[in-house]
Structure 1
Amino acid sequence: MLRIGIVLYRGFQVINLAITTVFEFANMTAGKAVYEVVLLSEHGGPVQTSAGFAVETQAFDDSRFDTVLVVGDNEVIEPGPALIAFLQRAAQTSRRIGSTCTGAFNLAQAGLLDGRRATTHWFFAARLRHEHPEVKLEEDRIFIIDGPVWTSAGMTACIDLALALVEKDSGAEIARLVARKLVVYHRRAGGQSQFSALLELEPRSDRIQTALAYAKQNLHTELSVEQLADAAHLSPRQFSRAFRAETGQSPAKAVEHLRIEAARLMLESGLHPIEVVARDTGFGDRERMRRAFLRAFGQPPQVIRRASRGGAEPERV
């Protein structure tokens, strides 16, 4: 059985406890006790959450854990020396150590992110970069694995991190079934942007949301206005008018953003030739994809791919 130690402290953001549910359902799905989850704190006993209620914890001691995760909070609370000492000790005795959300600040304070790639909640990324320039921060990432150190972005990204841990330990099928039971998408890839094109569009009505979800699932097809209107159960004219009113964009521009997002993720994975990426994301050919990337990033797909292998992160323009 793999022991997972989750480090809490007064004022931690309560949504981080969602990772315990991932491990709980991994046990249920596997039909055996794969994980034992232990909530830890400096003194043990009840620890108050950001929401005001408390959860019971065990005090730090010399117990060994397969994986230790420190959670984040809403204000980047300064960690005490006992917490830092515990994390430094855990990094020596555990197979993996990681953080969710602003928990990355705790790992950085402990010196565990020095020279490593890491991520955190986008809102606090500039502060982490300023306070800990030795960290190779990649703020626009859902989660990052750098050797034995795992870090995730903020809020619900902790679920993606936990699902990735389950996938590493028990395989992709178990992780997929857990995600399905939790009614979430099978975990977002670590390289996926914290800023989703679907979230940026902010459609208000179910019909437009349905059309966008259809588009995201069928990027390899033409995705004409007629197709999207049919998915939304509207006439093409009604759909185009409603779509622009809700998103401020034309359907064609929104679809291009979805294609770019999907293509960038495929490129950064390094698993597919550019021609395959262009085909599978609906651009059809690499030249059409190149023009779209130049409009979005000011850089062609080849530069995006090279940047993901260790160069500077391209910015959207």
Structure 2
Amino acid sequence: MWRSAGALIGASIAAFVLAACTGGVPPLPPAQADAARSEREKQAFVGALKPHRAGRPVVAVLALNEGTEMTDLLLPHAVLERADVAEVRIVAPRSGRVSLYPALEVDGAQDFASFDRSNPSGADYVIVPAMIADDNPAVAAWLKQQAARGTRVIGVCSGARVVGRAGLLDGRRFAGHWYDRGTLLKRHAGATYVPHQRYVMDRGVATTTGITASVPAMLALVEAIGGQEKAKALAAELGVASWTPAHDSSPFHLDTGRRVDFLLNKAALWRGERWRVDVQDGADDIALALAVDAWTRTGHVSVDAASASGPVRLRSGLVLLAHPPREGASRLPLSSSLRPVPQLDRTLCEIGERYGASRRDWVMQEMEYPGPVAACTG
């Protein structure tokens, strides 16, 4: 009884925080479809990301060792490594391990000082994921220094909050996760929120909407560096038809029903299940990240990486820390025959079947993913 009461109190607080963090910003009107305009905006974004220097570009994926959003880090790193258009490094205050949330842990980050010695002119691009703390002084100082050297900065999802802490959103147009809109407008003088676009660029600083926007944004970066055919081939491999910024922001907001659903779901968190995802060398980083992220965000599941041989090297070359499988742990369903984005679609359908449509809707809200819900009807 006491456990249930404690869970309800915690859920009430969490729901209040959720409501407060949106800053009372009202829902947006639906987007007006305009394919020609979206294509022009994509081309402008791609043009703004064209390399400024000769030679193979250097991309730093910024991380906070204590906690960096899993898909925000793994997906850009994996997409760019797969495209083979740049030298890609994960860079953090300390070398070594990076804890990811809502699950998993990787090894192989380069520390700031080492990266700076190797790249005294700065990176060509810095990709900024969401972090468990958006105001880390070392991260903010390093990012500000990179921007001063002419580096293009790309804030993915709530990475926009980290970009802002480095002083790079004041007076700029931005996208960002729907949940952060009110916070970012309050924090940054003269900043302008741009609705209905998956990614936005303003004077060397790009921002994207939620977690899944890293797919079209990274394909646009691949097109900028390696050309349209390279991006098209990679999009087909990922299961993506288009990478324009077209996006309807209107479905993404907190209404009364979602707040109540969140409250009831959090009240049941003490019944959470411990799952494992079996991994091996060469595992697809992108499919893994999207599926694990989605299941963990149901609030009912925590996920550990399992391998009898210990740490594994993912397809991108990044080392994922893994441990021997726990006896009796349920396996996270992951299909080797599905491309990464269709894998996410399948995962969302499975979440709906297991926990109901409202829970699937909540996960899609967190990931800011419209998703082909009709695909679940078969």
| SS of residue paired to 2:154 | strand
Shift in Å, 1:133:
3.8
| Partner residue in 1 for 2:62 | 7
| SS of residue paired to 2:211 | coil
1:120/1:139 contact within 8 Å kept: no
- In the superposition, relative to structure 1, how do residues 88 and 168 fare at CA in structure 2: closer, same or farther (>3 Å)? same
User: Unaligned regions of 5+ residues in structure 2, if any?
Assistant: 1-55, 253-356, 358-378
| SS of residue paired to 1:151 | strand
* One-letter amino acid of the structure 2 residue matched with residue 70 of structure 1: V
Q: Give the distance between the partners of 1:110 and 1:11, measured in 2 at CA.
A: 18
Q: Give the distance between the partners of 2:176 and 2:107, measured in 1 at CA.
A: 24
| Partner residue in 1 for 2:171 | 115
Written as runs of structure 1 = structure 2, the 5 A alignment for 1:81-96 is 81-96=137-152
Q: Which has the higher relative contact order, 1 or 2, with Cα contacts under 8 A spaced 6 or more apart?
A: 2
2:134/2:165 contact within 8 Å kept: no
| Partner residue in 2 for 1:26 | 83
Q: Give the distance between the partners of 1:98 and 1:155, measured in 2 at CA.
A: 13
| Partner residue in 2 for 1:67 | 125
| SS of residue paired to 1:21 | helix
What is the TM-score of this pair, normalised by structure 2?
0.47
| Partner residue in 2 for 1:46 | 97
1:8/1:71 contact within 8 Å kept: yes
| Partner residue in 1 for 2:188 | 132
Q: Give the distance between the partners of 2:186 and 2:106, measured in 1 at CA.
A: 32
Q: Give the distance between the partners of 1:57 and 1:94, measured in 2 at CA.
A: 23
* One-letter amino acid of the structure 2 residue matched with residue 65 of structure 1: A
Give the alignment partner of residue 192 of structure 1, picking from 244, 247, 264.
247
Tell which structure's C-alpha radius of gyration is larger. 1
User: Unaligned regions of 5+ residues in structure 1, if any?
Assistant: 28-33, 198-246, 248-317
| SS of residue paired to 2:68 | coil
Shift in Å, 1:183:
1.4
1:68/1:94 contact within 8 Å kept: no
> Could you say what the CA RMSD is over the residues aligned between the two structures, in angstroms?
2.1
Shift in Å, 1:97:
1.3
**Share of identical aligned residues, percent?**
29
Runs of 4+ that moved beyond 3 A: 194-197
Shift in Å, 1:103:
0.8
Shift in Å, 1:157:
0.3
2:70/2:104 contact within 8 Å kept: no
1:72/1:100 contact within 8 Å kept: yes
Aligned residue pairs, count: 189
Shift in Å, 1:191:
4.5
Give the alignment partner of residue 235 of structure 2, picking from 160, 168, 179.
179
Shift in Å, 1:139:
4.3
What is the TM-score of this pair, normalised by structure 1?
0.56
Q: Give the distance between the partners of 1:174 and 1:192, measured in 2 at CA.
A: 23
